[in-house]
Amino acid sequence: MTRGRLTQIGDSAFVARPHIALGVGKAAADALALTQALATLPSARALDHYQHARLAIVQYGRRLGALME
């Protein structure tokens, strides 16, 4: 989701599995998380923090999907 000083949010960043029901809410949460990180941390650390937090949602979706199989 982040590379250098560039980052993507919402479905363009990573499509989380549909059963976690995030859709548009994920894009809004991504934007808020990125805004908060940039407001409180230096830009490079903010992007790392943002990516780590957002990847946690992806991992949650994978675990939830595995339980559904």
Selected residue with higher pLDDT from 14 and 34: 34
The C-alpha atoms of residue 1 and residue 56 are separated, in whole angstroms, by: 12
pLDDT band, very low/low/confident/very high, at 41 (cuts 50, 70, 90): very high
Residue 6 — φ and ψ, nearest 5°?
-105, 145
Residue 18, helix vs strand vs coil: helix
Mean pLDDT score, 16-23: 60
Q: What is the pLDDT of residues 45-65, one digit of tens each?
A: 999 998 898 888 878 878 887
pTM across the whole model: 0.65
Mean pLDDT score, 33-40: 93
Domain boundaries, the chain: 2-68
